[in-house]
Amino acid sequence: MTKITEITVGIVSLPLKTPFTTARHTVTAAQAVQVKVTLANGLIGVGTGTPNEVVTGDTLASSRAVLEDVIIPSLIGCEFEDWSSNLAILKNAIQDNQPAKAAVEFALYDLRCQTYQTSLVKLLGGRQAAVTTDMTLGIKPLDQMVAAAQEFVKQGFTTLKIKVGSNGIAADLHLIATISKAVGPQIKLRLDANQGWSRMEAAQALRELANANLPIEFVEQPLAANDIAGLRELTQLHILPIMADESAFSYQDVIRLCSEHAVDYVNIKLMKTGGLSEAEKINDICAASGISCMIGCMIEPTNSIQAAIAFAASHENVKFADLDSVYMTKEVPEGLILNGPELRIK
């Protein structure tokens, strides 16, 4: 048996090329807590977790404090081979704080891959470590968003995700139609309101978008996270597919969404689930309920995006990928090959 002898915490911060704005906040860097877990045999596993105060409810400072004060002491001295026990200790050490837990879990998975001399994709049961991602247009003045959309299409992206929900329905509809006209009907669109619409606004938007016959794949989180009844109403209109994001953190959240037929799709983000093990459970219940998933991300650095790629590449029910944060940083991401919209683990 091999003991966990040391766990250290640092901070990673990668400036973005330009600020990224949603209906709820603006981000200027891909930041994360970085965890290194050392075993008695000398192996070191690395993982990162990106907190987001308006989504996950934590910050870099709070995540670091939780790691140092609560999570790390609970795992030091544990036998690494007691896998299920360690994951349970990590999950139950403290409520919430999912990005901090994700960082530790990724490090543990890294150690498992080293121990078995395999890749994370193969460890999770997949084969090819590549996915095709969309590219997200953050909220900016209309002319800047149109120019960005056209540039992304030139780079090979065939699907664009448009952030809406902060300027009113009329402005949002005009924005979507203008971008679609600028890039052409062959470019698929995904809309993300980040909880920015009311039920009435969302229903109006769905009807007008459908009447405009735009190439829209789905509308993500149009309503407040706790408005499950409202999401169900929109879904049962059968106008455009509805995806849950902020409404779907845990397995329990997704059981409710599935049992109430509240959404058509679920966006799995490893920063919401606290890592891969909870994401596995969420994907399983979605698959059993006939609900496809998307693998999404916060504004994250390479390490956690690699884990997300491996997860998507290992699960057939993950039909969509939104892993574009590594295209947004000034530094070229290490450990990944970027070929237009294709992301591949080296």
Q: Which of 191, 265, 256, 201 is nearest to 226 (CA)?
A: 256
Q: Determine which one of 101, 161, 163, 272 is catalytic.
A: 163
DSSP run (H or E) holding 199: helix 199-212
Q: Is 269 a catalytic residue?
A: yes
Kindly calculate the radius of gyration of the chain based on its CA atoms and give it in whole angstroms. Answer: 20
Q: Which of 73, 24, 75 is nearest to 52 (CA)?
A: 24
Residues 149, 136: Cα–Cα separation, whole Å: 9
CA pair distance 75, 276, nearest whole angstrom: 18
163 labelled catalytic: yes
First to last CA, the chain: 31
How many other CB atoms are found less than 10 A from the CB of residue 117?
Answer: 6
Distances (CA, A) of 276 to 4, 298, 307, 315: 20, 15, 8, 12
DSSP line for 96-137:
S-HHHHHHHHHHHHHHHHHHHT--HHHHTT-S--EEE--EEE
Pairwise CA distance, residues 161 & 32, whole Å: 23
Which among 101, 188, 269, 272 is annotated as catalytic?
Answer: 269
The token duo for 232 is: 């169900």
Enzyme catalytic residues: 163, 269
